[in-house]
Amino acid sequence: MTISARATRLAKSSAGALLMVLTLTGVWLEAQTNSPNKSDAAMANTGTATDSRATKAHDDSYIIGVDDVLAISVWKEPDISRTVPVRSDGKISLPLAGEVQASGETPRHLEQQISAKLQSYISEPEVTVMVQEIRSQKFNILGMVSKPGSYLLTNSATVLDAIALAGGFRDFAKQKSIYVLRKSQNGEESRLPFNYKDVIKGKSPEQNIKLQPGDTVVVP
């Protein structure tokens, strides 16, 4: 092979290698341009975390009562966050916040109260209050049943459920003369009849009402 041919071959080889390098470099630059960098991803993750932290489950209708168990969370303050029961005096105790009235308040209002008490110690405290266990809503059943007393009220408990929870009737119970005592918001008391014999036969299903907090089922 002549010197001229060798030079031509070497030039072609160098040009091909250079073209390959330039091509790979272009592909790498395009990939870097189209993909988000780490700082962008970190900012996106931070934004997601902030949105999640700011979203709170509020219940503006439920009224906290004695014996309810509350889960109280203070953002970035694990020593204050805890689960506490509402005492018989209607209050709860928290570090720094001290005694706080909980009974008779909604979770949202209680959050505001706790936040106000913590502002002297924490800059812009973020408080979340959730009702972990509902123990304040109860009904009573009295009279000729096996286990009269006070029972926790579930969402769908009826008069028949109350009788079952109380262990059923005792001898000589007047099953046709049962009634439910219920107080209205203005304090007036009403008597709602319940004929057990008719209800179990399907004659008066409307009498098997859902119980409300504070109802008293009387079995004469």
**Do 214 and 181 contact (CB within 8 A), yes or no?**
no
- Residue 213 corresponds to which amino acid? P
Position 186 scores a pLDDT of 85
Domain positions in the chain are 3-53, 58-133, 138-219
Give the confidence band of 120 by pLDDT, cuts at 50, 70, 90: very high
Tell me the fold of 138-219. Answer: Outer membrane lipoprotein wza fold like (3.10.560)
Position 77 scores a pLDDT of 95
**97-123: b (≥16 Cβ within 10 Å) or e:** beebebbebbbebbbebbbebbeeebe
Domain 58-133 carries which CATH code? 3.30.1950.10
Lowest-confidence segment of 42-56, 110-124, 141-155 by average pLDDT: 42-56
**Do 217 and 208 contact (CB within 8 A), yes or no?**
no
Q: Which pLDDT tens digit goes with each residue over 167-214?
A: 999 999 999 999 999 998 788 999 999 999 999 999 999 999 999 999
Q: Is the pTM of this model over 0.85?
A: no
- Residue 77 corresponds to which amino acid? E
E strand spans, the chain: 69-74, 82-85, 91-94, 98-101, 127-133, 138-143, 149-152, 178-183, 189-194, 216-219
* Residue 120 vs residue 59, higher pLDDT: 120
Give the confidence band of 32 by pLDDT, cuts at 50, 70, 90: low
Most confident of 20-24, 96-100, 152-156: 96-100
Position 30 scores a pLDDT of 55
Secondary-structure percent of the chain, ordered helix, strand, coil, rounded to 5: 35, 25, 40
Position 173 scores a pLDDT of 98
Most confident of 33-37, 114-118, 134-138: 114-118
